[in-house]
Every structure is written in C-alpha cells, then in structure tokens.
Structure 1
Amino acid sequence: MKQPLAYVHPAAKIAPSVVIDPFVTIDQNVEIGEGTRIGSNVTIMEGARIGKNCTIFPGAVIGAVPQDLKYKGEDTTAIIGDNTTIREFVTVNRGTAAKGKTVVGNNCLIMAYCHVAHDCVVGDNVIMSNAVQLAGEVQVDNYAVIGGGALVHQFCHIGPHVMLQGGALVNKDIPPFVKAGREPIAYAGVNSIGLRRRNFTNEQISEIQEIYRYLYLSGMNFSDAIDRIEAELPATKERDEIILFVRNAKRGIIRGYV
C-alpha cells in the first residue's frame, strides 16, 4: 500500500503487502520484502535490500553512498534482514569495493540516530541503543548489546553475547560473552545475566568465567594464556570460539581493568 505523496521508482521491487507512508522516497535497484512498513520521510536509495516484516521509522536513510573517499561509484548493497526495526534517523550506508555490502541481520533493534558505515556486518538479534556509531568495516556478532552513544573504531570486531557500556570508545576487539566498559575500554567480567537469559547453563557460564580468568587474571600475556587454555581446559564450543576469536583479533583484544 503506497500513499500518493510517496515516490517509488517504477523499477523498485516492492512486495504487495509493504506499507509506504507519505513523503517516502524509494529509488531504483531497491528490494523490500513482505510485511515491511516504511515510515514517513524515509529515504531508501539504490542498492538497498530490506527483508520481511521490518519496520523503518521516520527519517531513516538506507543505502546512501559510503562516506569514504575511496568509493568510486561501484555497484554495492545495503542489506537489512527480516524482522528488524530501524528507528528514527538511522543511517545505513552501502558497501564499497572492500566487501561489496553492508549487512544488518535478522531480528535486530537499531535505535534512533545510529550510524552503520560502509561494509559493516551486524549479526542477528543485535541491539544498538541510541546514537551508536559504527565506523567502516566493523563486525558485530549475534546477540551483542551496545549501549547508547558508543563509538566503534573502523575494523573492530565485537563478539557474540557482548554487553558494551554506553558511551564506550572502542578501539580494540571485544571477545565473546563479556561485558566491556570504563575509560579506556576494558574487560569488566562475563555477561552472565545475558547468557542466562539465552539459556546458557551454569556449567557453560562457569567454564567461560574460567577461560577469562586465564586471559585477564593470571598475569600471563594473551598468547601464553591461550596456549594454556587450549592445553588445560576441555574442548567445548565456547572454549574454541574464544580461542579462535583471540587468535584472529587483528586489532588485538581489550585489556583487563587495572
């Protein structure tokens, strides 16, 4: 259902059940899935791919060209998954030649005034509170919760089930299952409350806490701690996920609180 005061390019692929409010602009090379609602004054630009049953609130801009001087007009996309809510004045830029796409996953809540820059990959069930700013090529994994006003440096990686303090300045990778905060950014414990809400057992949480005792409380450097974890703790999905994350952290992981 399209209001007569909205502009929809005739080449856009819009499912019949999509609701489009007045003063919306939808460009060519756009696809929008069934059951999605586009609020007034939303601008959806070339390369946007929006899934099913999403809600885009007034003033959001999806698919604008990257704020990156290296961008030369290449054909790229900005992808929003199913059942995701994009609140007022959120901006999601499309990708560059680096990755070709910017992705926000399924079942996410992206609150007002957030920015998702070029080539970011945001996983499923992520919550970004008001005014979170992701620089280019940031990765945010499933079930991460990012507090309002956090600023995330380009190329950083935020692991799954992380709880990040509002206003944080993130310039290192944040490993899975932890809380992070303070200034400068530091490890602040395991996100045990969030893990329990997602049906992690007490045994799993205890194992994760033990791993982070090796990493942050043993006095060893991260490389030695990872070797000890691998040698001394039983192999589990969570153990191996943490080991792989730390070993692959291109920016290094956040430090413990001193």
Structure 2
Amino acid sequence: MSLIHQTAIVDPKAELDPSVEVGPYSIIGPNVRIGAGTVVGPHVVIEGHTTIGRDNKFFQFSSIGAAPQDKKWNGEPTRLEIGDRNTIREFVTFNLGTAQDKGVTRLGSDNWISAYVHLAHDCQVGSNTIFSNNAQLAGHVEVGDWAILSGYCGVHQFCKIGAHAFVGMYTSLTQDVPPFVMVAGNPAAAKGINIEGLKRRGFTREQIDGIRAAYKSLYRAGLTLEEAKAALQEQEAESTEAAAADVRALREFLGVSTRGIVR
C-alpha cells in the first residue's frame, strides 16, 4: 500500500524515502528531499530547495520552504535544511535563506515547534529547542540548543539567543540573550538564570552555582560590560573544568554579540 495519499501532489523529481507518509492534499515540490520515517500531514506544502531528515512530523497547513519574505531575494537557489525528529505543528512557516547571508535557513534536531511559529530567512536554530505558539523570528536570527521561546514572543532580525536561554511570553526582543539567561517584558529585561531548565538537563549544583556567579558579575555587580568580561575570564580561570566550560560559553557569547545584550 502506498504511503502517499492519492490526493497528494508529489513532483516526480522529489526524493522521498519509501517510508515517508504524505497526507491528503499535500504538495511536495521538485527540489525536496525527505528522509526515512517522516510523516507529512494533510494540506502541507513543502517547496524550494528543502532537505528534511528522519522521523519528522509535519502537522496540517504548515508551509515549508517558501520564498523568503525579503525584497532583495531574486529567485536565487537558496535552501532550507531540517534535521531529525522534529515536531512541527499547525500553520508553521519556514522560509528559504537569502544570498545576502548564509544562503540557508537551518533547524536542527529534536525541536518542538508549536502552532503558528515563523522562522524567517537565514535563521539558524539549534537542537532540543521549544517554540511555543506564535513565537516569531525575523530574518538572520540565531537560536542555541535547548533554548525556550514562549508564546507570542517576537525576535528582531540579527538577534542571537544563547543555549539554555529562556524568553518569556509576549517578550519583544531587540537585543541578544546570553546563554542560560531568562528574559521577559517589552522591552525585554533579564530576570535571572534558567535554573529549572538547567536542573532538568542534568546540570550539577557546582555548574549552576558557577552560572549564577557569572550572572551576578554580568548583571548585579554594577560593572561595565568590559569589566564584566574581565571578571568572567578571572572566574573561568579559577573554576573547575566543568564549571569553567559554562562560564567560557557565556564569555564567548559576549564576544560575538552584535546587537548588544539584554542588560
């Protein structure tokens, strides 16, 4: 029995593993590649130069690989790449990249993408993230592994969100969020570190204490940003190997931040 519904339209040039399921009235374009075990629900459109890994689940009415919402895009063969085991719920929209950036929009593996989420052109999203309903990313946004974006938050173009960060509901984000930090509000403000998330992911007390101390240097000690960077470098040098790695991740993020951090 074919796993492609008789009402679905799959271009003959598309490359689908034989185990891929395609639901009623879905449309798969000619430059699409889909890996084993992926399920495409009804009324899904997957187009563009789009590569999808294994065991993903696309719910109804999602639009995957459409042209970027960027006036500079002129039909260049840019791409969308999606990893493995992602859950992508209703009315989600993922756009292709643009030639002005990396040329590819990326989503890693094991992500939970809720309804009405938008990933604009050239976004780079890691793995094990959670996007709640209506979380919206403008173009060129970077999101690290294990980050959580709550419902209705909006992220300005070119912002970076570090690993294990947490963005609260209805947050308007126009600056970068360092790793481990919770932000909320409009405009966004830092609210502490994501302690509960870190505990759930197996961070030790020593690691959490180190991250908490780093947060205090960055947000509570009255230091300038350059002074805080120096304090973090000193803390890293004095920490055990496990704790030092987390402080280093925070310090290195500050070095690549281009829009300034929420502070």
TM-score (norm 1): 0.97
- Aligned counterparts, 1:77-88, within 5 A: 77-88=79-90
Equivalent residue of 2:65, what SS?
A: strand
3-state secondary structure, aligned to 1:228: helix
User: Which residue in the other structure is 1:218 paired with?
Assistant: 221
> Is residue 2:245 matched to residue 1:237?
yes
CA distance in 2, matches of 1:229, 1:162: 18
**Unaligned runs of at least 5 residues, structure 1:** none
Question: Do structure 1's residue 159 and structure 2's residue 167 form an aligned pair?
Answer: no
Matches within 5 A, 1:44-83: 44-83=46-85
Shift of 1:183: 2.6
**Whole-angstrom CA distance in 1 between matches of 2:140 and 2:73:** 13
Aligned mates of 1:46, 1:222 — CA distance in 2: 43
Which TM-score applies when normalising by structure 2?
A: 0.95
Q: How many residues align?
A: 255
Instruction: Report the AA paired with residue 66 of structure 1.
Output: P
Separation in structure 1 between the aligned mates of residue 256 and residue 108 of structure 2, nearest angstrom: 22
Show CA shifts across 1:90-135 (max 9, x none): 0000101111110111000110001000000010001100011100
- Helix, strand or coil: the match of 1:103? strand
5+ long unaligned stretches in structure 2: none
Are 2:150 and 1:147 equivalent residues in the alignment?
A: yes
Say whether 1:137 aligns with 2:140.
yes
Deviations 1:23-81 (A, max 9, x none): 00001010000001001000001211111000000000100000001111111111111
Quote the Cα distance in structure 1 between the aligned partners of 2:185 and 2:13. 49
* Other-structure match for 2:20: 18
Instruction: Note the 1:162-201 alignment, pairs <5 A.
Output: 162-201=165-204
- 2:208 matched residue in structure 1: 205
Give the counterpart letter for 2:65 in structure 1. Answer: G
The Cα shift of 1:228 comes to 2.0
Residues of 2 paired with 1:113 and 1:226: CA distance? 38
Whole-angstrom CA distance in 1 between matches of 2:49 and 2:235: 49
CA root-mean-square deviation:
0.9
